[in-house]
Amino acid sequence: MQLPVFTDPDPSKAWLRREQDRLHAQADKMLTSTRVMEIFAKHGQLSPIEGSYQYGLMMYPDLDIGLSANVITKQDFADLLGDLAAHSAVRGIATADTINFNLSKHLRPKGYWIGVDIPFENDRWGIDCWLQQPDWGSDQEGEYAERLATLDQPGKDAILAIKYRLIRNGTYGKRYLSGDVYDAVLDRGVRSIEEFEKTMVP
């Protein structure tokens, strides 16, 4: 994942909304142009795009998908990686095996994670995929989707603004993840970066 460089210390709500809309449209354009999802679909049942794309809360070029099959081996994982590496649009691939190794300080799903790097026009897109058997998965995305679908516009604006500031500050993806922002806004009514940072102090 390569995050954008933001320089404006206080972007307007209108700019944040426009950037969200731009990223959403560019995601569709990139997927149509590269047809990379066809590679994933050869190896299992592909979910609809999840995460910030689904919620309308994009602040950087990143897509989240799930890929499932009834039985998955490490060789299946390797076969998918080989097909992705051969794709002309793919610049790089990062991977993790949380079946046999789960060393992250953040709670991770059980499965095989693949992060694909695709430069497209003026953005560097990341596609995060979890390859899982049905009994390995969790319903966290479904829970977020239901709650964020009914979130009012001020709440969505707050999420976009907090994500922006975390990216600008260099703490997004290191100290904090999207789930931290969603939880703060949904569960604690946080509406600003200042409130977010206060509520995240141990």
Cβ neighbours for 173, distance < 8 A, ≥ 6 positions apart: 1, 3
SS3 assignment, position 114? strand
CA–CA distances in Å: residue 167 to residues 6, 18, 105, 124? 7, 17, 20, 15
Within 35-170, residue ranges assigned H as helices are: 37-41, 51-55, 74-85, 140-149, 153-169
Could you read off the pLDDT tens digit of each residue along the chain, which spans 202 residues? 689 999 999 999 999 999 999 999 999 999 999 999 999 999 999 999 999 999 999 999 999 999 999 999 999 999 999 999 999 999 999 999 999 887 666 667 889 999 999 999 999 999 999 999 999 876 556 678 888 988 999 999 999 999 999 999 999 999 999 999 999 999 999 999 999 999 997 7
Q: Tell if the pTM clears 0.85, that is, is over it.
A: yes
> What domains sit in the chain, N to C, each tagged with a CATH number?
13-199 (3.30.460)
* Pair type for strands 112-120 and 92-97: antiparallel
